[in-house]
């Protein structure tokens, strides 16, 4: 990686992926380090980021943005709701009890009332 892109890659690896950057002198040394890390991580599969269960992909960014428009729902809650209900139709028809399992009692009632108004 050239010096031009290294700070951005470093920020992505450390902040977004939560991984530690380890300095290496060559591609061969980097390859050996990766092999060692993977071998160590496969001992405990739950902590291996390469074997971790992937989050479902959102079909459209507009759906994600739409869910964020519900009062009291931000990015984190919107993602949790879409992981559980997968589409707006399921979310609209969810009971308060189903919503509570994801966002808690107060916000579940608020979301349910929001969709009840729209009907």
pLDDT in tens, 76-94: 888 889 888 877 888 888 8
pLDDT at residue 110 is higher than 80? yes
What is the average pLDDT across 99-104? 91
And the tokens for 50? 């390469």
Tell me the domains of the chain and their CATH numbers: 6-47 (no CATH), 61-118 (1.10.150.20)
pLDDT in tens, 39-87: 776 666 665 555 555 554 445 677 888 888 888 998 888 888 988 887 7
CA dihedral 107, 112, 118, 119 (to 10 degrees): 180
Per-residue pLDDT band at 97 (split at 50, 70, 90): very high
In this prediction the pTM is 0.49
């Amino acid at each position: 990686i050239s010096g031009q892109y290294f700070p951005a890659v470093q920020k992505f690896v450390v902040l977004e992926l939560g991984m530690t950057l380890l300095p290496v002198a060559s591609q061969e040394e980097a390859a050996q380090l990766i092999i060692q890390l993977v071998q160590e991580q496969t001992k405990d599969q739950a902590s291996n980021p390469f074997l971790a269960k992937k989050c479902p992909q959102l079909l459209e960014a507009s759906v994600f943005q739409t869910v964020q428009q519900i009062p009291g729902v931000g990015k984190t809650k919107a993602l949790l709701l879409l992981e559980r209900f997968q589409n707006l139709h399921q979310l609209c028809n969810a009971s308060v009890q189903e919503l509570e399992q994801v966002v808690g009692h107060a916000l579940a009632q608020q979301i349910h009332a929001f969709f009840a108004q729209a009907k």
